[in-house]
Amino acid sequence: MIPDGPPSVEKKKTASIFPAFGCKYLGNERSILEDMSPDLKELLGRAGDAVGLSGDLLAGSPYGDFSDELISQYAVYLYGCAVSHILKRSGVHSDYTAGYSMGLYAALYHAECITFEQGLECIRVAYGLIRNTASKHDFGMGLISGLPLADVEELVSRSDDLEIINANNRHSFLVSGYDENVRHVLAAARVNGALNIQHLAFRSPYHSRFMNEAAARFREYCSGIRIYDPIYRLVSSVDRRVVTTGDEVLADLADNINHAINWHETMSCMIAAGVDAFIECGPGKSLYKMAKFIEGDFDVYYLHTLSSLLSSGRSCSHAPAFKR
């Protein structure tokens, strides 16, 4: 069951999960965070110094409809890191953490593997490498909902230049490859009974073999930065292993670019480990919605319900959150 009301604090294990850019905002995330603590304002100032992200850009796109994809990535990272601060100030412990796609960067910040500025720089570098590689061809991405995995696999197998890059849950799958093939498989999925198909606006084939060059170069970049061992159990969405060392974090950073992820299995792994409360750390409630079709007895809370919990008795003015 996934309630809309305030969560209970009586939980066996808790996981903090971080969404990716492209998620739909509810529109009042910034005001909620600013009412809860000064962390967003402080982090926004640091993001302005590091990469030029301004409050005006956030204010101009309260629903996350940024015209610049890189700004969109910065913004969702910023919001995720702000929620991370609030959780730690409020004494909310994470038994596990995981990031959906580029939500990995905020998860790494939460697990104290990288600094806030390192996360911004990783996003900038990765995006540049990905776009440089993707610009050589006409790529696309698509969403197929309402067909079983076996049917989607059969449709995708008809093309050598198309991949399933993520299973959101048992009914929702992302495909990526040459845009012409993406459009063809979406049309075929509709004919075969898909409840929903969507040609996405993204023009980079994230999480696919087409990103091998970008991943190799990003691995080289990451090998030159200081990466700490995670303080929480960090679950890889690439292969669902629990990442425990800085070297394993480095490998996961690179693999996250050119390997398919599986969010369904990532969530299922944490549920099997005893997690029965997930906190979505970021704007919107995309991970909350995906979880409605993931098997298990657990709750998922997003920013609006989290604020209800914290305002009901937990203070946000404890010791400062992580800052290496």
Give the integer Cα–Cα distance in Å for 148 and 26. Answer: 29
**Tokens 């005001």, located at residue:** 31
Which pLDDT score is estimated for 323? 36
End-to-end CA distance of the chain: 38
pLDDT, averaged across the chain: 91
What pLDDT score was predicted for residue 160?
83
Predicted confidence at residue 65, as pLDDT, reads: 92
Mean pLDDT of 32-37: 90
- Would you place residue 311 in the very low, low, confident or very high pLDDT band (cuts 50, 70, 90)? low
List, in order of start, the domains of the chain with CATH numbers.
14-134+209-311 (3.40.366.10), 139-199 (3.30.70.250)
Average the pLDDT over 23-45 and give the result: 92
Task: Write out pLDDT tens, residues 159-206.
Answer: 889 999 999 999 999 999 999 999 999 999 999 999 999 999 999 999
- Closest residue by Cα to residue 76 from 17, 19, 16, 15: 19
Residue 127's contacts (CB-CB under 8 Å, 6 or more residues apart) are 69, 70, 73
* CA pair distance 230, 252, nearest whole angstrom: 12
Is residue 121 scored above 90 in pLDDT? yes
* Predicted local distance difference test score (pLDDT) of residue 17: 98
